[in-house]
A and B are shown apart, each in its own frame.
Chain A
Amino acid sequence: MSDPLLASAKAASHGLFAQSTRMRVLSENIANAESTGKTPGADPYQRKIVTFQSLMDDDAGVDLVDVDEITRDKAPFRTEYMPGHPAADDKGYVKLPNVDMLVELADMREASRSYTANTQVIKQVRELVSMTIDLLRPSS
């Protein structure tokens, strides 16, 4: 690595981007947890899942994380008996999104923790660089 400290900052900033994408998707899921379709028997909002992948950056010598893809969760939808609902099928059942609020909130907490960890890395790198450059400052 030509400069490992710069490489650290790069890895951390990719991490920040990945985690914030994850949080965006999670908040979409949470916001649409009750979004149904409009016509009878239509599908509701389908939960989105973010997958990460890691790629080695050869110049920097660090593993950068990137968002691989945002896919839809193929888990089955929940159903509820709501006969008057516009999306109710002929038996009166409405399909609801396959979003489990508790899972999304727990995931959100973990994403937030990872995000904070990455910002701490950037802060530490900044301090290390500042200390090193400070050596060149004339003393007295």
Chain B
Amino acid sequence: MQPLQLFDLAFRQNEWLAQRQAVIASNIANANTPGYKAKDIESFDEVMRKTLPMSVTDAQHLSSGDGSSILAHEGNSTHAEILYSGNDVSLEDEFLKSGEVMRNYSMNTQILKAFSRMLQSVTKA
């Protein structure tokens, strides 16, 4: 039983954020690898748009599954210069993205916690 659509949305966004974190980690780890181009994944709006229509009553439909639909692609950053080695990872950009991931992820988990508490107070009273 899924009382709230919010839960599903929050978890789906968290999955997307986790995948973005993985791509950011790859970029940072390969910051000195010659020829490596920084990658990013498509935006959350894109991902949501691709999985429409969402019908609330079908639980299967809303679960994100293995997330294989989210593909990493290169060439995201607007102010990364390509170095002599062919590497274009900018650590500052990656830190910025990383901070965004952390903020959104904490907000989602706090929202989830709050709504979960609310539901618990309804069922326990």
A and B touch in the complex (CB under 8 A): yes
How many chain-A residues does the 8 Å CB contact rule pick out?
Answer: 43
Does A134 count as interface, using CB distance less than 8 angstroms?
A: yes
Q: For the complex, what is the distance from the CA of A15 to the CA of B27, rounded to whole Å?
A: 10
Q: For the complex, what is the distance from the CA of A118 to the CA of B18, rounded to whole Å?
A: 16
Q: For the complex, what is the distance from the CA of A76 to the CA of B28, rounded to whole Å?
A: 33
- Residues of B contacting A134 in the complex (Cβ-Cβ under 8 angstroms): 109, 113
Q: For the complex, what is the distance from the CA of A118 to the CA of B95, rounded to whole Å?
A: 11
Using A12-B28, A132-B14, A139-B113 as known contacts, say yes or no to A2 and B91 having CB atoms under 8 A apart: no
Q: Interface 1/0s, chain B 10-41, versus A by CB < 8 A? A: 00001100110111111011111110100100
CB proximity of A81 to chain B, nearest CB, Å: 34
Q: For the complex, what is the distance from the CA of A39 to the CA of B69, rounded to whole Å?
A: 64
Contact across chains for B29 and A14 when beta carbons are under 8 A apart: yes
CB proximity of A116 to chain B, nearest CB, Å: 10
Q: For the complex, what is the distance from the CA of A128 to the CA of B91, rounded to whole Å?
A: 20
Contact across chains for A64 and B29 when beta carbons are under 8 A apart: yes
- Residues of A contacting B120 in the complex (Cβ-Cβ under 8 angstroms): 139-140
Q: For the complex, what is the distance from the CA of A118 to the CA of B31, rounded to whole Å?
A: 10
Contacts A2-B66, A5-B21, A65-B32 supplied; 8 other A-B pairs, CB < 8 Å = A9-B25, A19-B32, A52-B30, A52-B32, A52-B33, A65-B30, A120-B95, A134-B109
